[in-house]
């Protein structure tokens, strides 16, 4: 079966974290119903692509778990009824720990959700408040416990952020230890270096900008602690127990096909064996609703990727994963400098895979990749 991911963007949060540049709003609660109806309408239009059933569905945001579960599950049901959801499909919902209750997770489980992703970011109180997050470490412990009780023991992710102002190396170590000692422990951890996005409140405070050397030290610490706990890296910012890798994100990193539902959501479909098209929806929820309510398209812009662009992009994406790139695509000195190592694969193929040091310098290494053709 051809893999197909459906991403549903839920652009609502209780408040905005000051480093966040995502398409999300904290003053649009009145739009929840209308927005999810518009999503259902957009899903009906997606049948024109002749794709499906979905092998993964991902509700991201924003804070999807803020919504009443019937709204979110209504959209999932609509996807199943129109495009289809394949047996065994991965269905993920992003949750903020403070929004989680036993009832909510029970409803998700009964409604077909198979995986949760918690926006934890840190387990150290002063770091959480510096990031502007609303939860405390106890909330995370409780959310993990509820996830386990609702049947997600082997299927939940924790998102972490490192490098915020005031976070010491000991704080970061405490966050990693805190997450790894959750009961049940997460099967998947995403750890992202804090970045300063233009236009965010954080961008206006250079004294709070992350320090690159500090972040490098913390990345190596994450690699050491997560791999010792049995979570293996499979993309620069992602570690998982064997078999718990996120199927939906793997589609993004392998140029797979996905359709985006909701404002600011991106889509990508193959148009021929060597070309594909990527496009994205209008950014605001109001515009998204208005267009669908008046029978119009929600695409804001798009681009066609020809054979050369696809080959280049495939190499860039793969370099960032544990698949690596064909050994001949990296000049020998990259391995000599300890940035990548060559592994032999069954069938005699040789792949060059980034080392932890190479992952820290992935952007620089990517400039040295030789793309055939």
Closer residue to ligand SF4, CB minimum distance, 117 or 318? 117
Contact between 20 and ligand SF4 by CB under 6 A: the answer reads: yes
How many helices, marked H, and strands, marked E, lie in the chain?
Answer: 13, 15
Contact between 119 and ligand SF4 by CB under 6 A: the answer reads: yes
Distances (CA, A) of 303 to 7, 227, 245, 269, 317: 19, 38, 29, 11, 18
Closer residue to ligand SF4, CB minimum distance, 20 or 229? 20
Cα distance from N-terminal residue to C-terminal residue, the chain = 30
Closer residue to ligand SF4, CB minimum distance, 52 or 60? 60
Q: Are 281 and 260 in contact (CB under 8 A)?
A: yes
Q: How far is the CB of 161 from ligand SF4 (least distance, A)?
A: 9
Place of tokens 């040091």: 357
Contact between 365 and ligand SF4 by CB under 6 A: the answer reads: no
State the Cα–Cα distance between residues 272 and 195, nearest whole angstrom.
36
Contact between 93 and ligand SF4 by CB under 6 A: the answer reads: no
Strands of the sheet containing 188-193, edge to edge, are 232-235, 238-240, 188-193, 156-162, 115-121, 85-95, 54-61, 4-10, 257-261, 266-272, 275-281, 299-305
Closer residue to ligand SF4, CB minimum distance, 23 or 251? 23
Q: Exactly one of 42, 96, 117, 318 binds ligand SF4 (CB under 6 A); which one?
A: 96
Q: How far is the CB of 130 from ligand SF4 (least distance, A)?
A: 13
Those residues with Cβ within 8 angstroms of residue 373's Cβ, 6 or more apart along the chain or in another chain: 307, 308, 311
Contact between 16 and ligand SF4 by CB under 6 A: the answer reads: yes
Q: How far is the CB of 283 from ligand SF4 (least distance, A)?
A: 14
Q: How far is the CB of 321 from ligand SF4 (least distance, A)?
A: 24
Q: How far is the CB of 62 from ligand SF4 (least distance, A)?
A: 5
Q: Exactly one of 6, 8, 13, 282 binds ligand SF4 (CB under 6 A); which one?
A: 13
Those residues with Cβ within 8 angstroms of residue 288's Cβ, 6 or more apart along the chain or in another chain: 35, 38, 42, 262, 263, 281, 282, 298
* Contact string (CB under 6 A) for ligand SF4, positions 32-71, x = contact: -----------------------------xxx--------
Closer residue to ligand SF4, CB minimum distance, 285 or 324? 285
Binding footprint of ligand SF4 on the chain (CB under 6 A): 13, 16-17, 20, 22, 24, 61-63, 96, 119
């Amino acid at each position: 079966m051809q893999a197909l991911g459906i991403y549903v963007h839920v652009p609502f949060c209780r408040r905005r974290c000051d480093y966040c540049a995502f398409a999300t709003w904290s003053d649009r609660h009145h739009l929840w119903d209308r927005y999810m109806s518009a999503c259902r309408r957009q899903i009906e239009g997606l049948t024109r692509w002749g794709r499906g059933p979905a092998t993964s569905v991902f509700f991201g945001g924003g804070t999807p778990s803020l919504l009443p579960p019937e709204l979110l599950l209504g959209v999932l049901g609509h996807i199943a009824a129109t495009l289809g959801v394949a047996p065994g499909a991965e269905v993920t919902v992003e949750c903020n720990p403070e929004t989680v209750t036993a009832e909510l997770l029970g409803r998700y489980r009964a409604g077909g959700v198979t995986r949760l992703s918690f926006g934890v970011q840190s387990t150290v109180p002063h770091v959480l408040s510096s990031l502007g997050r609303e939860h405390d470490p106890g909330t995370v412990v409780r959310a993990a416990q509820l996830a386990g009780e609702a049947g997600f023991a082997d299927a939940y992710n924790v998102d972490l952020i490192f490098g915020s102002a005031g976070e010491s190396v000991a704080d970061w170590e405490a966050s990693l230890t805190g997450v790894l000692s959750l009961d049940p422990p997460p099967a998947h951890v995403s750890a992202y270096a804090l970045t300063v996005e233009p236009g965010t409140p954080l961008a206006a405070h250079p004294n709070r900008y992350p320090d690159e050397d500090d972040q490098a030290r913390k990345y190596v610490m994450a690699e050491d602690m997560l791999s010792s706990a049995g979570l293996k890296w499979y993309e620069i910012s992602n570690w998982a127990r064997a078999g718990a890798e996120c199927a939906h994100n793997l589609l993004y990193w392998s140029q797979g096909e996905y359709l985006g539902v909701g404002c600011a959501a991106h889509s990508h479909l193959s148009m021929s064996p060597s070309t594909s098209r990527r496009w994205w929806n209008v950014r605001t929820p109001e515009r998204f609703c208005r267009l669908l309510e008046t029978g119009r398209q929600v695409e804001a812009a798009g681009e066609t990727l020809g054979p050369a662009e696809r080959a280049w992009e495939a190499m860039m994406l793969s370099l960032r994963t544990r698949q690596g790139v064909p050994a001949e695509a990296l000049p020998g000195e990259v391995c000599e400098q300890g940035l990548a190592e060559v592994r032999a694969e069954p069938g005699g193929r040789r792949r060059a895979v980034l080392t932890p040091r190479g992952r820290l310098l992935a952007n620089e290494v990517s400039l040295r990749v030789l793309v055939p053709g």
